[in-house]
Structure 1
Amino acid sequence: MADDPLPAEVAHAARRLVVDYLAATIAGTTQPVARMVWRHVHDSYPGAQATIVGGGPATAPGAALANGTAAHALELDDGYTPGASHPSASTLPAVLALAERERSDPARTLAAVAVAVEVACRVAAAAHPATWRRGFHNTPLAGVFGAAAGCAVLLRLPAEDAASAFGLAGSHAGGLSEFLPHGSPVKRLHAGMAARDGLLSALLAAEGISGPPTVLEGSQGYFAAFAGNEWDPGVLLDGLGERWMMRRTSVKPYPCCRHVHGAVDAVLKLRADHDLDPATVTGIEVDTYTVAAYYDGTDAGTLLGAQMSMPYTVAAALCDGKLGLAQFSPERRRAADVNRLMAAVQVRVDDELDGLYPERRPAVVRIRRSDGPELSLRVDQPYGEPSNPVDDEALSAKFHTLCAPVLGSVVADELLRAAWAFTELDLLTHGLGFFGGPG
């Protein structure tokens, strides 16, 4: 099946995934955690099989580890709402690194991208929110299977060996959410480790190492271990190969947790529509679903802490009328105006809204102010969801905004054209290796 051309709409969706992944990864290379992983990879994975984005050559597993970490370093990577996961950051680094090593043709590589993200989406959604309630981070938990699947396509593994790749990947599945109260950058590593381990699972299966074929549904398999009885085989299998879930991924307009985006959309619109003066705001109430309400912390001392905070993101958006990377700078996180409003935010669970998740990510925001009546707005789906999409033009604008400061406008535009075309992989792999360095 992987030798057949992708349906046009699936191929286009896969190219969108690549564009968005590259934007997040290139921007992410500026972060300290990405550079620390670069140094580790240069020491521990020396080679010239594949390219670390901005960091030169390495083995394919090493490049997957480094690039996955960078892709997830700024909370700018795509998401899949039904699975509460980031499918591309944990899969595309593996696929593109192996494609470079194997000198795969673009058509097969694009098919591997589509398969990798499809599997990651379905595995995550089949057991969410049960996995989340047990303290697991769905991005690496499901992503390692997607990475293994995409790499199996590139290696042309027969069905038995592909099942072994899954079986091996199951023993790599993991990732705890304890990073949240501490703002720990281990969250960034989750995507890179899943990409690396999924790639290794496919390579080891190709060598003949077998894994249990019932790794997902077995009595001691993935779903039993991570979700108990709370999983849906229909989500995993219904319409497989015909109804592509990877076409339903979301694009992030703001560099923060996707669960807070609905509230941020509401605040920005209320501010713009009513010419709202943040200095007059006396209170902000956010009603939302349980999973989003969990992100009610007010410790913005770390970048991740601010990105995972509903109160901080709402306050920063209301103060500045926008929410970009600048709003997460150390200076802005310490600013008196933002911190005053952050303390005024109350986050609550609303039973009606809770019942709409995960099909929707709803939020209702109410703003009290000293110079006028209370303002209120409900958002059922934040900007970037398939039903409220970031179109191709806006996605290209996101790419240019994030990449031009790193690459320069001319190179960023050239890379963007190559990513949309996806007919020549050299610029997307080897050509991206030397604009930075581990430093």
Structure 2
Amino acid sequence: MSDTRAVTAELADWIHGLGAPGAPVMPASVAGQVRRLVLDFLAAAIAGTDTVAAVATRELVAEMYPGDAATVLGGGRASVAGAALANGTAAHALDIDDGYTPGSVHPSAPTLPAVLAAAQALGADGPTTLRAAAVAVEVTCRLAAAGHPATRDAGFHNTAIAGVFGASAGVGLLLGLDAEQTRSALGLAGSHAGGLFEFLGSGAEVKRVHAGKAARDGVISAYLARAGVTGPDTVLEGPNGYFHAFARDHWNPATVLDGLGEDWLLERTYVKIYPCCRHGHAAVDAILDLRGEHALAPDQIDEIRVDTYDVAARHGHTDVATLIDAQMSLPYAVAVALADGEIGLRQFDAAHRTNPELVDLVSRVRVTSDAELDARYPRSRPARVTVRRRGAGDAPDLVALVDQPLGEPSRPVDDVQLTAKFHRLAEPVLGADAARRVVDRVWAFDDVLGLMSALQAAPAPATDLPPTTVPAAPVARKRITTQESA
């Protein structure tokens, strides 16, 4: 890194400028995309309210963060920081929340809970809240992309470590922080940044809390800055700063600063169709294509080989005793998609994870890193799936190559499909009428208090999974490449 720009100060000036009087009008396409992000975030968070991690966090919030300032999804109210913690955890609890591929980050779950809670407490209007949400997500995408893959290689989870900066930026805009205070908010967020990838393959629930923690700490950072607590104004680029500590100085300042306010990275976020790690989605698309074209069944399979990029290949574990292990397992996602022909929340329940036939099929999936496919990442998330059939004789193996999974900007989910996803996830919790009211409020986004009021729901019991599914069927399938190999 040879760029000598004052990255933190320039970023803070941009954040402050968007909230200042006379700020440029946010492009209509950006405002529309933020509405989509809010709707998708709420779908994930509402569905996630009855998971073990979300229920436990909500109970902790009731004890440690009491208050009436903001709505807690799943029931009750709390302080702004408490609501951000609870709702952020719920949003990331089912791995069905959005993401940004170049940063390997989920930008909405750690940011929008903070922005919506602060907006509710402050009585902010819709346009101001949309602007704050845009800033929060954009900052998260930029910081994550600037340090990826070095941050991941160092063992950190970008959703947690970059998300806290985005949350502090969005809440800071709502609080009306000046440029100096905004620099301090970012500086304080840097000392809150944290989140390790050691959960992978361990069965630990802590990944769910990463988003909630980032949202909470972003709130605290912004409010502390307003109260006069200062943070370093070189927190990002300094010799002991964020990118030195988390990326070993392997980062790109231009990704943070170039095109701010003109080229919005948030417009290139993806929508998740399957409730599992995004790194496995291209392989899932590929196996579903092969299943549909060749009527494949588990008993026909000798071996499934998945060649993919290196970061995805790290998710090759086959021990799926817990929900999170299954969601993080590429072999499991491929196997259950082949077995059931769809991959929704039901496919990750305990009955599926312990099914002997499915466990056996998972053991027949091999995941390897491919140098050519790795060179494409993170511009794309490719996977090549090769199926060797039992008793096929001299028949060639079946091969499908998917360069980008469904939901990426090049294979988008439209507003109708996104709204359908919301209803499938939210109606079992809110009911059909309340779900429709929330959708109407989000698309209008002219009354934040009305939106948050519509989200009130009775607490749900803790279960292994909520009783809802997200099948692949509502999204039209488009095969990228399917072929037979010699």
Which residue in the other structure is 1:49 paired with?
69
Q: Which residue of 106, 128, 134 maps to 2:126?
A: 106
Q: Which residue of 387, 406, 420 maps to 2:443?
A: 420
Which residue in the other structure is 1:332 paired with?
352
* Deviation per residue, 1:298-332 (Å, 9 max, x gap): 11100000000011010000000000001000001
* Deviation per residue, 1:400-420 (Å, 9 max, x gap): 111111112222122112112
Q: Which residue of 418, 422, 429 maps to 1:399?
A: 422
- Which amino acid in 1 is paired with 2:219? L
Shift of 1:156: 1.2
* Deviation per residue, 1:59-104 (Å, 9 max, x gap): 0000000000000000011011011111100000000000000000
SS of equivalent residue, structure 1 residue 348: strand
- d(CA) in 1 for partners of 2:205, 2:338: 27
Shift of 1:437: 5.7
Which residue in the other structure is 2:151 paired with?
131
Shift of 1:370: 2.3
- Which amino acid in 2 is paired with 1:316? V
Query: Are residues 1:228 and 2:228 paired?
Result: no
- d(CA) in 1 for partners of 2:386, 2:416: 32
TM-score calculated relative to the size of structure 1: 0.98
- Which amino acid in 1 is paired with 2:419? S
- d(CA) in 2 for partners of 1:157, 1:309: 43
CA contact (8 A) 2:157 2:197 kept: yes
CA contact (8 A) 1:144 1:169 kept: yes
Instruction: Quote the RMSD (CA, aligned, Å).
Output: 1.1
CA contact (8 A) 1:104 1:154 kept: yes
- Which amino acid in 2 is paired with 1:15? R
Structure 1: gaps spanning 5 or more residues:
none
Q: Which residue of 175, 186, 193 maps to 1:155?
A: 175
CA contact (8 A) 2:163 2:211 kept: yes
Query: Are residues 1:218 and 2:238 paired?
Result: yes
CA contact (8 A) 2:187 2:231 kept: yes
Which residue in the other structure is 1:296 paired with?
316
SS of equivalent residue, structure 1 residue 346: strand
CA contact (8 A) 1:91 1:146 kept: yes
Q: How does 1:25-424 map to 2 (within 5 A)?
A: 25-370=45-390, 372=392, 373=395, 374-424=397-447
* Deviation per residue, 1:244-266 (Å, 9 max, x gap): 00111111000000000000000
SS of equivalent residue, structure 1 residue 428: helix
Aligned residues: 439
Task: Out of 66-75 and 404-413, give the one that drifted further.
Answer: 404-413
Q: Report the CA distance shift for 1:437/1:336 in structure 2 as closer, same or farther (over 3 A).
A: closer
- d(CA) in 2 for partners of 1:364, 1:337: 24
Which residue in the other structure is 2:456 paired with?
433
Shift of 1:438: 7.6
SS of equivalent residue, structure 2 residue 230: coil
CA contact (8 A) 2:72 2:87 kept: yes
Task: Out of 415-424 and 7-16, give the one that drifted further.
Answer: 415-424
SS of equivalent residue, structure 1 residue 73: coil
Shift of 1:239: 0.4
Shift of 1:151: 0.6
CA contact (8 A) 2:136 2:169 kept: yes
* Deviation per residue, 1:254-283 (Å, 9 max, x gap): 000000000000011111122222221111
CA contact (8 A) 2:307 2:383 kept: yes
- Which amino acid in 2 is paired with 1:376? V
* Deviation per residue, 1:83-133 (Å, 9 max, x gap): 111110000000000000000000000000100000000000000000101
- d(CA) in 2 for partners of 1:9, 1:151: 22
Identical columns (%): 56
CA contact (8 A) 1:136 1:176 kept: yes
TM-score calculated relative to the size of structure 2: 0.89
CA contact (8 A) 1:288 1:354 kept: yes
CA contact (8 A) 2:49 2:460 kept: no
CA contact (8 A) 2:335 2:362 kept: yes
- d(CA) in 1 for partners of 2:358, 2:443: 38
CA contact (8 A) 1:84 1:125 kept: yes
SS of equivalent residue, structure 1 residue 171: helix
SS of equivalent residue, structure 2 residue 388: strand
- Which amino acid in 2 is paired with 1:155? L
Shift of 1:392: 1.0
Shift of 1:33: 1.0
Shift of 1:425: 1.6
CA contact (8 A) 1:36 1:438 kept: no
